[in-house]
Structure 1
């Protein structure tokens, strides 16, 4: 076990960076936080564990892993809480992210593929949670998307972000170029509850604010609402995913 007591320590400084997408990309590490998420992960580890971080009131969790020796670090509570940005007050695992492959979009979709240009980590995580719950086959991230390993994204996804297949596809505008199996979720379009959902398609979620402004020739689906101009993008997407899951097969 390595004791760290100073903010100038290189490990502490690196972990402090991991609360941002830039830091995750730079160091190629992210932190898994939360008792339930960590318990599920340790039952079937799917990422390389780089370190475990504890404070004086916590007991190590990784020492029982067979065939794996994980570096263990202990921090004073004050420093620990600075790393524990989600406020779990539980052991932290430093993991190595997986390389996100580029998906060739000239291939036809298999199942429901959800295209996510969402820049807010909490929104992306919540959408991934719904995508897993309602049977999406994969998540496709555009250049506009936030980092899927951001702690807020992982927390909001309830771990779905670590389980769903994730690919990247480049800029959203470049992607939306006349594919018959791409449908965008917009304020105006065919009612998702009445739409004859095919088994295989790509559902494109619009980022709140810009949406799909300036892009023509799109096939649109919508979630009708009353009393409000529009729904939160993640809420609307979850309703659409539910309709897909309950389609007539």
Structure 2
């Protein structure tokens, strides 16, 4: 496979997909990445399938104009609702992100797992097809109402956030889950708060590492790796850049851009 110095495009309904970007950047530091935060339209989880498909195509068009060689849909809701349409329309590889149910089910001792996700993910046909495979495991689904908005506003450590998380997680603890699957790319930023609520024996799973490994696999098999070294990532948002800059620990420049 020849080298390919075109960038990897990554989009999410806001800042949450930076948890996926971070895993990709750690595994593939020489790849140039362009991250698109569609915060103006966050959260996607409360929108119709048609709206989610339209927004996902808008984001894809933007990234393809930037000459991206591969696109990572770093949003569970966009993946479960739109990735089939994206793959049908565009001639570029797409990598999606789904709740990591399989490893949780495989390793669960209590045969009871919890999933914290958006309404759009939990209601999607793709998610329901996935959960149907695991009839022997009790899967407790919880919509994370309000969590994405609080993260987007920079209120990760607010009393309101802790109150919401406690109300969502307590019934799962009482139901004897031993794995909690984070079904939204925003939610890994809540792991420190979640760990304060969950007993130590409950494992938390997110999808970042799996998506990074799949990205590496597609680069190796289909697209080609970059021959550059330590390329500087580019971040775009269509709202105030402050929260995205802060979540990136002020290490990178974020440009506000209408899209």
TM-score, normalisation: structure 1: 0.28
Higher helix share: 2
TM-score, normalisation: structure 2: 0.27
